Amino acid sequence: MNSITTTRKAIQSGETTAKEVTENCFNLISQEPFNAFHEMWNDEKQAYLEGPLSGITVGVKDNIVTKVGTTTCGSKMLDGYRSPFNATVIDRLIASGATLVGKTNCDEFAMGSSTEHCAWGAVQNPWSTDRVPGGSSGGSAAAVAAGLCHVALGSDTGGSIRQPAALCGIVGYKPTYGLVSRYGLVAFASSLDQIGVFSRCVRDAAITTEVIAGFDPNDATSVEEEAPCLVESLDDSIAGIKIGVTRDFLTDRNDPEVNQAIEDAIKVYEQLGATIVDVSLPLTDVGVSTYYVIAPAEASSNLARYDGIRYGHRTDKVGLDLFDLYSHSRAEGFGDEVKRRILLGTYVLSSGYYDAYYNNALKVRRLISEEYASAFEQCDVILGPTTPTPAFKIGAKSNPISMYLCDVYTANTNIAGICGISIPCGFAKNDGKPLPIGMHLQGPAFSDAKLLQIAHAFEQATDFHNQHPEPIS
């Protein structure tokens, strides 16, 4: 799969056409063995609008609403659900000429780190099909890694773009909260949710985000600003840029190959003229517990709408009173992980426990934001691993807590509402089947252009992003 820039040039020079490019993708998607896609939308009558993304193929995570096809959030609860409207990001992609190729599988309601909690089956990692692609946007990550589409949309509430990007060896970018409209993203935890992009290079993430970002009156948390210029400054030198490194990220909880890849990445930045500064983020360790109070609390409220009447699956059982209709419909429609989150969220919000859990989590949230703010007084971005380990085997993390710990380096980015990106920075050996390792860069809110510039500089100096799993045909 070529980059957006290369594909656009080939179309503009007449070497190929938008139709030919997209048909090639549909051909690959129809044969893909990874369960990356839930639906493919090959429309014979597709109009190829002229625009910056004309001929560019985009996979859409199954929790972003589209008028075409269904939006199921990987849940039986929404099996067959058709949205009457498009998410704002979808309208903007269509207006820019992009071809939406289909819906990608995800963990149910975006809850998970492996895309095993999907009602339509687990997704496989294209680098090693006995391993997970990460989650919850694992279908989007697998699709881009396997070259089935140029870019894909995901959502990131605690790491669901950056973690699967790391495990699949691609770029995953979570913009600053408020930069990209969430209108039409099915809500999980509204104060943390953010739409972002998977791509094979930083430039493609920048190009696509320029299209989808910018103020949207339909999203009350969208910032009243023009879409940022992200592409323009990509090639600027990073000499003198300050990169914060913290020992709180390079502990023995990580796989040694992950720590080595990050140490090597730091050297690359030094050679590029960046200054490495030591920063301290001791609250890294409480991020997961804070996240797993706030996110389930918001989820328990957001998911109350799936009652079998207003939305969602309705039980076939007859003669039930209203309460039993709700409870049977919800018991049948939701999977185990979603039920666990609803129970947890209802518990931490219940009277008697609210102060002990939810209110305290909000206080810690403030402390985490302040900790980042003081770290960013010393540096432009903070560098570390995206995940403690490379992709794990399907079925390996049946204990929910071990799954939750996958978010240790990513959840705090959402808690503070700042921007973060994962880019490929190495491989773990794994008996001749290399497994990608991701580097995580986090920047202050609305420093997205600089974050991408710093990520792009690393990419230009290294070759990791040019390595791909074996093609499917």
Q: Which residues bind ligand GLN (CB under 6 A)?
A: 110-113, 136, 155-160, 188, 295, 407
Closer of 203 and 440 to ligand GLN (Cβ): 440
Any catalytic annotation for residue 136? Answer: yes
Bridge pairing between strands 151-155 and 195-199: antiparallel
Spatial strand order in the sheet of 99-104: 37-40, 99-104, 57-61, 151-155, 195-199, 171-174, 419-428, 435-443, 381-385, 242-245, 275-278
The residue among 4 and 421 lying less far from ligand GLN, judged by its C-beta, is 421
Which CB, 158 or 312, lies closer to ligand GLN? 158
Q: How far apart are the C-alpha atoms of 219 and 209, rounded to whole Å?
A: 17
Render 301-354 in DSSP notation, one character per residue.
HHGGG-SSSSSS------S--HHHHHHHHHHHHS-HHHHHHHHHHHHHHSTTTT
Catalytic residue among 128, 160, 181, 447: 160
- How far, in Å, CA of 186 to CA of 89, rounded? 13
CB-nearer residue toward ligand GLN: 196 or 312: 196
Q: How far is the CB of 322 from ligand GLN (least distance, A)?
A: 31
Quick one: 156 or 210, whose CB is closer to ligand GLN? Answer: 156
| CA angle, 182 then 331 then 306, to 5° | 30
Closest to ligand GLN by CB, 159 vs 312, is 159
Q: Find tokens 């096809």 and name the residue.
A: 69
> Considering 54, 75, 128, 136, which one is annotated as catalytic?
136
List 3, 54, 61, 96, catalytic entry: 61
Contact 110, 73 (CB under 8 A): yes
Q: Report the residue number whose CB is nearest to ligand GLN.
A: 160
Least distance between ligand GLN and beta carbon 239 (Å): 34
Q: How far is CA 268 from CA 137, 237, 455, 460, in A?
A: 29, 14, 12, 11
In the chain, the N- to C-terminal Cα span, in Å, equals: 12
| Under 8 Å between Cβ of 3 and 231 | no
Q: Which helix (H) or strand (E) holds 228?
A: none
Q: How far is the CB of 343 from ligand GLN (least distance, A)?
A: 15
Q: How far is the CB of 110 from ligand GLN (least distance, A)?
A: 4
Q: Which active-site residues does the annotation give?
A: 61, 136, 160
